[in-house]
Amino acid sequence: MATAHNTYAPQYFRVIHPLQDEGEQKCVSQGLRPIPMTRSVRFSLMILRGYMISMSVLLSVYLLHLLR
């Protein structure tokens, strides 16, 4: 008869806070070309930009209304 052996070896992970972590070298973006976009992607980003602008305008109107 076969028996199952349950052996559990807990793993311990060291957690480092980002403010206490050592800095790392960042990627250099000089010489990179713009990312090519299709028409649908460009259109979607324009729609998103318009939405963000309209929400910002609505928020500022609301805040101005609250200040009155």
Question: What pTM value is reported for the model?
Answer: 0.53
In one-letter notation, the amino acid at residue 35 is: I
Q: What angle do CA 30, 38, 55 make, to 5 degrees?
A: 85
**33 φ/ψ angles, rounded to the nearest 5 degrees:** -90, 160
- 3 state SS of 13: coil
What's the average pLDDT block by block, 10 residues per block, for the chain (68 residues)?
A: 74 87 85 91 97 98 94
Distance between CA atoms of 25 and 45, rounded to whole angstroms?
A: 31
Distance between CA atoms of 44 and 15, rounded to whole angstroms?
A: 39
